[in-house]
Amino acid sequence: MQLQSYQKCIEPACGLEYPITDIRIECDRRHLLDIKYKTAPPTSLKEVFYKRRNPMNNIFNESGVWRFRELLNFCQIDTEDIDQCSKRLVSLDGAEGRLSKPYHMSKVSD
């Protein structure tokens, strides 16, 4: 599923927009950006997300972010390919990103 997405300033009075391919976290006026979709995601996704609330020992469905992976299509990766996702999505390590490295999910407890 590919939804057309773009970046938009979170400040309503500003509202600057940028292509999803631009690598930025703030607009030219230094406000944060959010990801927006040109069309609403299909309502059928609600059922998919709801079913994932019961992960059945699947680590990728336990994470709040991974449960909604279809909405991450702006990363231009196959969100069903866990190897691709773990190479592109990163985890902050508590050092505000200074020591970040690719995040490889593993189950830490039962």
Quick check: 63 and 55 in contact, CB under 8 A? no
Q: What is the pLDDT of residues 9-64, one digit of tens each?
A: 999 999 999 998 898 999 999 999 999 988 888 889 888 888 877 767 666 666 66
Q: Which two tokens stand for residue 68?
A: 């909604």
- Considering only CA atoms, which of 2, 9, 109 is closest in space to residue 59? 109
- The reported pLDDT for the residue numbered 71 is 79
* Section 74-85 average pLDDT: 68
Whether this model's pTM surpasses 0.85: no
Burial 65-100 (b: 16+ CB within 10 A, else e): ebbebbbbbbeebebeeeeebeeebeeeeeeeeeee
Residue 98 pLDDT grade (very low, low, confident, very high; cuts 50, 70, 90): very low
